[in-house]
Copies of this chain bind each other. A is one copy, B any other.
Amino acid sequence: MAGDGDTPGVAEPIGEAECLRLISAGGVGRIAYTGRFGPTVVPVNYALHEGTIVFRTGQHSPMGEDLRTGIENAESKVAFEIDEISPATREGWSILVQGGAHPVDSETERASVMQAGVEPWAGGEKELFVRVVPTRITGRRIRRTGPPAAG
């Protein structure tokens, strides 16, 4: 009987400007990339800096190495997802930033992204700054219009 009696949520697209506003405060997002074991998703702390997503990882962490390997000569395509969902009502929003991941190597760029003040979520040395330069930003908001599901 799955789905029977459930109040369906209404999904509304969110425009790019509103997407950027919603994610401008930073916090926890999820970076998705193709790693050594296939698609991989990991939560990281991020900041929005000059229209790009900035986060930190370890230079020699699996993620750092996977992202670097992928971008030796070409940028690595990644996705970055940020959402705010109420577990109780299942209402909320989700933003998807798709684009290329760039390790920050030059001192000038590093000084710039340091201003974003992004702290690593987990411990350990997180000396590699990664920028995600968006090529596509989409979002959707889910609202429930009726009473919550009985079951």
Contact = CB atoms under 8 A, between A and B. Distances in A.
A74 interface: no
Contacts of A11: 122-124
A140 B87 CA distance: 21
Interface residues of A, number: 51
Interface string A9-47: 111000000000000000110101110011111110100
Contacts of A32: 32, 39-41, 79
A120 interface: yes
Interface of A: 1-3, 6, 8-11, 27-28, 30, 32-34, 37-43, 45, 56, 77-81, 83, 85, 87, 90, 94, 96, 98, 114, 116-124, 126, 136, 140, 142, 149, 151
